[in-house]
Every structure is written in C-alpha cells, then in structure tokens.
Chain A
C-alpha cells in the first residue's frame, strides 16, 4: 500500500513537473476546475498575490482529489499546498490525517468569521446546494416540479431524468418523495428499514432514469443536449446554462445544502503562505462579493450579504426563500456509511 501510494505520487509529481516547473515562491492550489477555477483566478488570486508577493498555480481535481492528496501525504512530498475540500470529503481528510490543523491566529486574527466557519482542519469558504434543475422549454406545457414527489410522478411529468451516480443525497431525495419530513431524514436513514425504504422508492423511478451522471459538467451536458429534462446538479451550474440560452429553473425545495472547505495539505513546505491564502479567500469581503456576481456560492466574509443586489441575492442557496425547503446534508452520516451503501448501490444499479 505504502509503495503503491508512492508510485502514484511519483506519477503525480512527474506530471506536475511536466506541466510547469514550480518555483520557490509559488503556492499550488487545487480547485474543482471549470468556472470555479476561472472565478478563483479572477477574484481571489490577484488579491493574494498583491498582498504576499507569491504566485499561485492552480490545478484542477475532481473525483479522485482525496486519493491524490493521500498519495502525496504518504509519499511525504505534497505537491499541492492548499486544496478545496468538499463537505463529504472533509471527514475523510480528518480521519486519515491528510490536513493540517488551521491556525486561526493567522487566518482570522480579528475573529471576523462566525464560529461555524472556523473548522479545525479547514476554513469554510462557501455554501452550495444539490438541487433539481428543470429545462422549462421541454417540460410539458411549461409545468414545473415543486416537490420531490413530482419528480416521481411520471404521469404529470413524463420524460427522461437524471440523478447523480451514487447513493449520497439521492436516498434523502427518495425519502422526501416518500413523505418523510426533513427533520426525520437521518433518523430514518439510520435504520436498515429506512435504507430499504429509500432504495425501494428509487426503484419506482429508475426506468425513467436512462443515465446517472458522474460529474457536474456531465449533468449540464445532459440537460443542454436534451438527453434529459430534469437533472440534479450543484446550484452554481444553472447560471452557466441560462447564459448559454437553456431555460433552466431550479427547484430549491428539498435541495441538499452543503458547505465546502479550504484545507492545507499535511506536510506542505509553504505553511505560512497557505494560511495567508486561506485568510484572503475566507475574509476578503470585496473579492467574495465580486465572486458572487459570477458564481452563487456565498462565503462568510464579514458584511458580505449586506447591500447585495436583489438579483444576486436570490440566486444564493442561503437566500431565505431558497433556504426554507432545503435540508442540511449530514456529511458525517455519509462518511461513516458510504462503503456499505456504495456496495449496495452498485448491486442495486445492476439489478
């Protein structure tokens, strides 16, 4: 295992070296790529570079991010300094000791951030939601789904749909469609009967799901190409589609609210600069506000939500009307149960 990790790390290192030689004062930052990378480069990196004199090199990583970090950490030579850590990956990173403990004396010396944003191994940088998106041009007679029960109603809403390939949050959506109240979601899921109930409910809809997506970009493509009419995705992806002329409506009701973290890769040689980047990313109100014009993923910088233009504010997952019907995804539940549920999921998909 150690050796395998080392071999992988050598491969990762080699490819990094080939893409660009990393000079001494360069911070390597791993983000989700796509629009997130673009917005980060535009709004946060310049502020950080101006303050510290460092340069930033950004790399894109999606599904296998934690595997890459683990390979680097075990090899004792992390190539990345700072990485975005999704809510479901955060508990894994903590359990496996892949993240440095954040020193809030450096990140937030004046105590501007709310307590909830100051996690031990990463600073919370954004909220986002997994929500249902519907192509209003293809939906019958322009009718719109308003609940998860509608998603299951193939009489009123015929046509192909898509959900993420994996049990996470889909089991919750199924239970919501089956009439479970938001507050009871995880009590129900904690029982074997609850899990059966969720899988049974998913079984009712599977014939209407020709494809299960594996990345946010794929879900966008499925909706854009007209392969499906309804698909879940991360709320920020909607604006890109609307800009491309696809009429997309978000169903906030029953969405899953998540937080995303910025963590420091264990063993980095640029600990101080890494903290400086966390500070800029988490507390610079001006950069965060400009970022919101581009991507509706709000952070916790002081005063961010005051005096936001209405059309920006109502796109945010934390906007009161949007927040009302959502549930907070329980990432600890998923970190603890993913292995068994994933296996069941794989078997269920093949049935």
Chain B
C-alpha cells in the first residue's frame, strides 16, 4: 500500500498539470454553458432547438470518421513496411515520417491551396496534358478538406501503429509457419490481431484530433464543409461565451461518445478477425 503510494508520486506532476491546465478550464466551460450568470438552460435549448448545430456536429463526426478510417488503411501497410526493415533504416524512416510534424497545421493546409487551386499544380498539369479544358474545382470541396486532414494526421497514425508493431514478437509468425500456416494465414491470424490495437489507438487519436479541426476546413472547405470548431469561433467572436461553451460541451461529449462506440466496434472487429 505504502509502496504503491510512493510509486504513484511519479505520476503526480503529470496529474497536476492535467488538472490545472485541462480539467479546471473544462469545468469552467461546462459551468459557463449552464450559468449566464444564473442557472439557465437557454444555451442548451438553443443547441437542441436549432437544427443547424446538430447538422454541423454530424458532419464533423462524418468527416473525422472518414479521415481516421482512411488514415488507418494507409498507415497500417506503411508501418508494416517500416517494421520489416533492418533496425537502422527503421530509425531513418520514422525520422522522415516525423518531419512534416515540425510544420504548423496552418502552413500545411495553406500548401494545399497551391496544389489544388484553379491555377494550381494539379489543374495546370491536367490542362497541359489536355485532360480537361476548364480548371476543375477541387478547392472548397469536402474532398479537399478530407485530403488535407488525412495528410496532416497520417504521421501520427503511422507512428502509433508502428510503435505497437515493434512490440510484436516476430517468432510468433515463424511458429505459425512451422505449425503449417501459409504466409497469408499467419499474417491474418497472428500479426493483424496483434497489431490491431495499435492501429485502433492511432485511429482514435486521429479521430479525436479531427473533431477539433478548425483551420483546415476554414481554408480549404466550402460553406457546407464547416466544422464545429468554426462555429465555436464565430460565437466567441460575438462574445457569446455561454453558447460557445455549450457548443464546446457538445464537441467534448460527442467526441467521448463516438470514441466509446469506436472502441466497442474495434473489439467486435477483433473478435471476428480472431
């Protein structure tokens, strides 16, 4: 008991940081959505009464799901490839994956304007090759937002998935082969289930980060691609702190709820795989 308490000292500084910088402000957000200045449900009522906010919430969920799922499908093979390399190349490859993370999200979103614009790289190439006679509208579409978000979040997903793969004892694969499993079978029955949790964690992290995206849909999206973060910004700019907090609450609990559902679906999928 005492020993456990002594060991837990190590985690206190981190806990303190989370309580002071995250939990306390979060409770303030909850409070200010309910008290303005007296107890009121008018912000929550407005959230429920007007369909626009729930519509944007569901679109945010949808975009985040697409980004996280597509990311998982791309990240897994990349992580598998890296994990199969000799130790030293693995280090180099992971280092290369990390480089885009040093650039701000704003800059990376902005770069997509140059690629997807009417006078951009892709359109110029297509016009040059005669694939089209008029520039194709690629910016300000849902696909533009999803593509950019995918590119921004992919390194995180690859690294998380790869991290989990390095934990897998490759002798297990060998053992499966010795016991008569074909290469594909060993992969499907042994490696994929063992790496599944890491991929799932990467997907959930990407999903949670997507839910709060703000700059990318503002720069690359059309009027129908705005996400909850954009609506919150509008409310804060109008000094509607109470309603902005209510939207924040929707984002927080909506994300939590989705993560629980995702975890559950993940467990079901894993059972099917095994």
| A binding-site residues for B, Cβ under 8 Å | 1-5, 7, 63-64, 66-67, 70, 92, 96, 160, 165, 206, 209-212, 214, 218, 221, 225-227, 338-339, 342-343, 346-347, 349-350
**30 A/B residue pairs, CB under 8 Å, sorted by A:** A1-B32, A1-B36, A1-B242, A3-B32, A4-B25, A4-B32, A66-B237, A67-B236, A67-B237, A67-B241, A70-B239, A96-B239, A209-B223, A210-B137, A210-B222, A214-B218, A218-B219, A225-B113, A225-B117, A225-B118, A226-B119, A227-B117, A227-B118, A338-B238, A343-B50, A346-B231, A347-B52, A349-B223, A350-B55, A350-B223
Contact yes or no, B140 A210, CB < 8 A: yes
Name the one of B31, B114, B224, B238 contacting A342, with C-beta atoms under 8 angstroms: B238
Q: Which chain B residues have a beta carbon within 8 Å of chain A's beta carbons?
A: 24-25, 28-29, 31-32, 35-37, 50-52, 55-56, 113-114, 117-119, 137, 139-140, 218-219, 222-224, 226, 231, 233-234, 236-242, 245
Q: Which among B25, B50, B140, B239 is the interface contact of A211 at CB below 8 angstroms? A: B140
Cα-based distance from A350 to B51 in the complex (angstroms): 10
Across the interface, A63 reaches (CB within 8 A) one of B25, B35, B231, B233, namely B233
Contact of B237 among A63, A218, A346 (CB under 8 A): A63
Q: Kindly state the separation between the CA atoms of A147 and B248 in the bound complex, as whole angstroms.
A: 42
CB-CB under 8 A from A5, the residues of chain B are 241
B224 touches A226 (CB 8 A): no
Q: Are B239 and A66 interface neighbours, CB within 8 A? A: yes
Residue numbers in B under 8 Å from A221 (CB-CB) = 113
Q: A67-B241, A211-B222 are in contact. List 20 more A-B contacts (CB 8 A).
A: A1-B241, A1-B242, A2-B37, A3-B28, A63-B233, A66-B239, A67-B236, A70-B239, A210-B137, A210-B140, A218-B219, A226-B119, A227-B139, A342-B238, A343-B50, A346-B52, A347-B52, A350-B52, A350-B55, A350-B224
Distance to closest chain A CB from B41 (angstroms): 15
Q: Which residues of chain A are near B25, meaning CB under 8 Å? A: 4, 7
Question: Do the beta carbons of B28 and A4 come within 8 Å of each other?
Answer: yes
Give every chain A residue within 8 A of B51 (Cβ-Cβ): 347
Contact residues in A for B242 (Cβ distance below 8 Å) = 1
Residues of chain B within 8 A of A347, CB atoms compared: 50-52
B50 touches A4 (CB 8 A): no
Instruction: Establish whether residues A226 and B241, one from each chain, have CB atoms under 8 Å apart when the complex forms.
Output: no
Closest-CB distance, A289 to chain B (whole angstroms): 34
